[in-house]
Structure 1
Amino acid sequence: MKNVGEARGTPRGVPQEELAAGLRSDRSTRNRVARSILDHGPSTVAALAERLGLTQAAVRRHLDALVSDDVVEAREQRVYGARTRGRPAKVFALTDCGRDAFDQSYDKLAADALRWIAEHEGGQEAVAAFARARLAAQAGAYREAIEAAAPGERTEALAKALSVDGYAATARSAPHPQRGEQLCQHHCPVAHVAEQFPQLCEAETEVFSQLLGTHVQRLATIAHGDGVCTTFIPKAGHAAQASQFSQNDQQDHTASASTAGRNPA
């Protein structure tokens, strides 16, 4: 299912890797809370805490975030028969948006469609052509954002534009800052499909290169088991060497990306 509940803001003084681990843990627990409501229906804080082995305070904290994200909503518990004294217990139920977050039928439909294209309309190259056309259609808004940004802020501008489309993207200095930056996508709306069709990731990398006017390197992807899709963007003057990094440099970058965001599962 899609991750529900993205964190807002970055506490100062917290290492990026530690923060990323904390955010993944919070998202995982919120997904468990939402899944429990899906499986068992509208639930009280006490019932959720018992089912999930959490404290009621922890459940309330995650419910507050899920309510803020319009994934769950609070309701009065329906009482059948004679009403007892006291205020009715509050229960939490999934909203329509929350139910949609669990719906994987669109992923299956997309994967089935791409498989049919591969089998009947030209093989894997036809899938690649579709992936490039899909990204080209999205690239217009990204291009506008990049062209409006100062030269040194284009990766950040691309990250913000991607975030609008649900990729929760950020830009940061690479482990070797003098060489460039890393574009990190902490969520991928098509990750389940990209696991089967890597052409989607390849087309995205090509579009990033075209938009930024430089060679880029994809270091990690959520579809391949990493917790973050990480793309290296070389600084001006280092673009020519970007495709000729030593094996040690590539391992350093990949290790950094995997450590910062590998799925705990």
Structure 2
Amino acid sequence: MFIAAHATSGPQTPGRVAETAPPSESRTRERVLHMVSVDGPVTAVQLGRGLDLTPAAVRRHLDALVEQGLVEAHEPNAGARPSRGRGRPARAYVVSESGHAALEADYDALAVEVLRYLATHAGPEAVADFARSRTAESEQRYATELAAVGDDPADRAEALVHLLGRDGFAATARPVGTGAPTGIQLCQGHCPVQHVAEEFPQFCEAETESFSRLLGVHVQRLATLAGGHHVCTTFVPTGGPTGPGRKHGRGPAVVALETPALRPAGPPPGAGTRPADRHPHPAERHPDQHDPVTDEEGSPS
């Protein structure tokens, strides 16, 4: 479990208590950590009521979690009054930054296990369906706000960056390319499903399809955090007529960027005669040639 992952050798080091604690005690300690994450700042007495444990038992687990660096104890304010009876006010406990990271890693591990089960018993397409359904909620919300922006892909991309940034994706955009077509490079410095997408790229693919529909052009995902890059990078072509009603796959040719590191590391599924690239270099294609259209213009079924 996530607490054991912090185990190290030597006395009085983070994770040592969890390493030697019986399984039943480790499970109780995990319950304490989860409750602190939900209700913190919270006192030992309050935790005891919620977990049906004595304050002394809760403090023992809290002391272990503090020792591991997963929980922090905040001393009461000088003017604070005792919650009940005599004595000094009780300390309040909150989850530390390391504790939040441990909880997130635990959730990631559980999500991967569930998706493995789904892929084994229902097939990879079931995972793709789940990824698309997960993206649908945010896509609908973004589409409502982008409706007031207009049809220009550059304006819509800038607005999408703002919406992504508001949702914690650390998104930025900058113009790229010379001549025609030109475009915008949309970057995301944070991804909440990064570790899950390392094993299940269907989540990256679902987001890319969503961006194409939202922006009305055929976008190209060039790099991902899940693939080991420092940001997720998407090229948005802006050198041709577009609009929200434009079908996926009808946008202008994707320009090859000058930064080699941003090009795909290997052949994507369904690649053609050029195994290293999804799209031919602009110099090798006919000026009127469009990207191939498959499966109802690339829209997910």
Q: Provide the TM-score with structure 1 as the length reference.
A: 0.56
Other-structure match for 2:10:
none
Q: 1:94 to 1:216 in 2, by over 3 A?
A: farther
Gaps of 5+ in 1: 1-37, 41-70, 77-92, 259-265
Aligned-residue identity in percent: 49
Q: Tell me which amino acid in the other structure corresponds to 1:124.
A: P
SS at match of 1:209: helix
Tell me how far apart the structure 2 counterparts of residues 180 and 74 of structure 1 sit (CA, whole Å): 50
Superposed counterparts of 1:201-212, under 5 Å: 201-212=204-215
Residue 255 of structure 1 is matched in structure 2 by 261
Bigger share in helix: 1
The Cα offsets for residues 59-118 of structure 1, whole Å up to 9 and x where unpaired, read as xxxxxxxxxxxx998956xxxxxxxxxxxxxxxx99426222332111011111111110
SS at structure 2 position matched to 1:183: strand
Tell me, yes or no, if the aligned pair for 1:173 and 1:182 is still in contact at 8 Å.
yes
Structure 2 residue aligned with 1:141: 141
2 CA distance for matches of 1:167 and 1:124?
26
Specify which structure has the bigger relative contact order, considering alpha-carbon pairs within 8 angstroms and separated by 6 or more residues: 1
Aligned mates of 1:222, 1:195 — CA distance in 2: 8
Q: Which one-letter code corresponds to 1:143 in the other structure?
A: A
Letter paired with 2:137: A
The alpha-carbon deviation at position 177 of structure 1 amounts to 7.5
Name segments (4+ residues, structure 1) moved above 3 Å: 71-76, 175-178, 238-241
Match status 1:118 vs 2:124? no
Provide the secondary structure at the position in 1 that maps to 2:229. coil
Relative to structure 1, the CA distance from residue 74 to residue 149 in structure 2 (aligned partners, 3 Å threshold; closer, same or farther) is: farther
**Residue 132 of structure 2 corresponds to which residue in structure 1?**
132
In structure 2, give the amino acid aligned to 1:112: E
SS at match of 1:227: coil
TM-score relative to the length of structure 2:
0.50
Q: What's the counterpart of residue 106 of structure 2?
A: 105
> Match of 1:224?
227
Quick one: distance in 1 between partners of 2:227 and 2:14? Answer: 29
Residue 173 of structure 2: aligned partner = 171
Tell me, in whole angstroms, the C-alpha distance in 1 between the residues paired with 2:175 and 2:165. 18
3-state DSSP of counterpart to 1:223: coil
Greater radius of gyration (CA): 2
- Relative to 1, partners in 2 of residues 1:128 and 1:72: Cα closer, same or farther, differing over 3 Å? same
**Kept in 2: contact 1:220–1:254 (CA 8 A):** no
* Closer/same/farther in 2, CA of residues 100 and 149 from structure 1, 3 Å limit: same
**Residue 196, structure 1, aligned to residue 199, structure 2:** yes
How much has 1:172 moved relative to structure 2? 1.1
In 2, the alpha carbon distance for the partners of 1:237 and 1:109 equals 44
Conserved in 1, the CA contact under 8 Å of 2:72 and 2:95?
no
Corresponding residue number in structure 2 for 1:34: none
| Aligned ranges 1:48-87 → 2 under 5 Å | none
Unaligned runs of 5+ in 2: 1-12, 16-69, 76-91, 242-249, 265-301
- Which residue identity does 2:252 align to in structure 1? Q
> Displacement of 1:176 after TM fit?
3.5
The 2-side partners of 1:147 and 1:125 are apart by 31
1:144 Cα deviation after fit? 2.1
Structure 2 equivalent of residue 241 of structure 1: 252
Residues 171 and 177 (structure 1), Cα distance of their counterparts in 2 relative to 1, 3 Å cut: farther
Q: Secondary structure of the equivalent of 1:130?
A: helix
Aligned with residue 186 of structure 2, among 183, 188, 197: 183
Q: For the residues of structure 2 that align with 1:223 and 1:209, how far apart are their CA atoms?
A: 20
Distance 2:93 2:102 in 1: 10
Amino acid at match of 1:147: A
Q: Determine if contact 1:219/1:254 at 8 Å carries over to the other structure.
A: no
